[in-house]
Structures are given as C-alpha cells and as structure tokens.
Amino acid sequence: MPETLWAPWRMEYILQDQKPEGCVFCLPEGHAGPLPERLVLCADSLVFLVMNRYPYNNAHVLAAPRRHVATLAEATSEERTALMDLTARATAVIGELLSPDGFNIGINQGRVAGAGIDSHLHIHVTPRWNGDTNYMTVLGETRVVPEHVRRTYERLLERFR
C-alpha cells in the first residue's frame, strides 16, 4: 500500500499565477522587524532571518544580508559579522524552543556548489535530531518535515520578538 506524504505548503507555490519577479530574498527598502507574508522572522538595517519555504528539516532558516550580494567576498566586514551574529542567535532560539541535537550551518556559494538561489548570499541553519535521517531519505529520496512551515514560523516568531 503506498504511503501518503503531506506537504500542504507546496500547493500555494503550485497554484501561483506567476512566479515572483526579482530576487526572492530582497526585502522592501527600509523594512525592519518581522514580515509574516514573506516568513521573515526578524530584520534590521544589515541582515534578516527568514524561514526556508521548502525546508530540509523543521525550523530550517536562512540568514541573509539586506544588500543584494552573491558572495562572502562582496559582503562588507560589518555585514559578515552581522550574519554570524544572526546565525548564532538563530541557533540559540531554535535550540531553546525545539531542543535539536545539533545543527547543519552552511553556505552554498554558486550554483555548482548547490545554491538554489545563487545571486543573494544566505546561510542555511538547519536543526538536526538524532534519527531525523531515516529510511525515507535514504531509500525513498523523500524528507518528512513534521510541522507546517507557517506553524513553525509562528512558534519561532514569538521568540524573535
């Protein structure tokens, strides 16, 4: 009997009349704080933190500079420091709320390195739990995310306010 996998957030993407123009990471100029319609948890003048719409695991977030730059070398020293501080804050908040056993933290710079969006630098922060990689991922090439992205956003947003 076939297994059923539930991914309701995909329907919003599938049914979109048109894909967004421009960079999906670039925020409205001058915006600070959360932006629920874009799943932005927090933003300041240099950096912001956003939920990954198609997460590798529950609470997978992305830290990015406000400025549209593609590489670490293009980012200023101040932006790089702010990115690291925000990444550390993300691990602290997610760690406190969800108690993961560890984190994968990484940058895929350039399409050949695995960047799905290679024109705007971003750092992946993916919480990991013992046993979260199971036969579904290994044999079925399918990931199971246990909570809806919007619900995880709401839970994390409370901690980032």
Length of the chain: 161
CA–CA distance, 121 with 161 (Å, rounded to integer): 24
Selection from 10-19, 25-34, 93-102, 134-143 with the highest mean pLDDT: 93-102
Is the distance from CB of 104 to CB of 126 less than 8 angstroms?
yes
In the chain, pLDDT over 70 holds for what percent of residues?
79
Which of these is catalytic: 31, 60, 68, 122? 122
Residue 55 has pLDDT above 90, yes or no: no
Residue 148 catalytic? no
Residue 155 vs residues 7, 49, 142: alpha-carbon distances, Å: 19, 14, 25
Q: What share of the chain is helix, strand, coil (3-state, %, to 5)?
A: 30, 15, 55
Residue 2 has pLDDT above 60, yes or no: no
Q: Delimit the domains of the chain by residue range.
A: 35-160
Q: How many CB atoms within 10 Å of residue 43? A: 21
Q: Residue 133's pLDDT band (boundaries 50, 70, 90)?
A: low
Q: Residue 20's pLDDT band (boundaries 50, 70, 90)?
A: low
Residue 146 vs residues 56, 98, 151, 156: alpha-carbon distances, Å: 11, 12, 11, 15
Q: Which position has the token pair 């059923």? A: 4
77 versus 7: the higher-pLDDT residue is 77
Residue 160 has pLDDT above 70, yes or no: yes
Q: Which position has the token pair 């399918």? A: 142
Is the distance from CB of 31 to CB of 43 less than 8 angstroms?
yes
Q: What is the CATH number of domain 35-160?
A: 3.30.428.10
Q: How many CB atoms within 10 Å of residue 9? A: 14
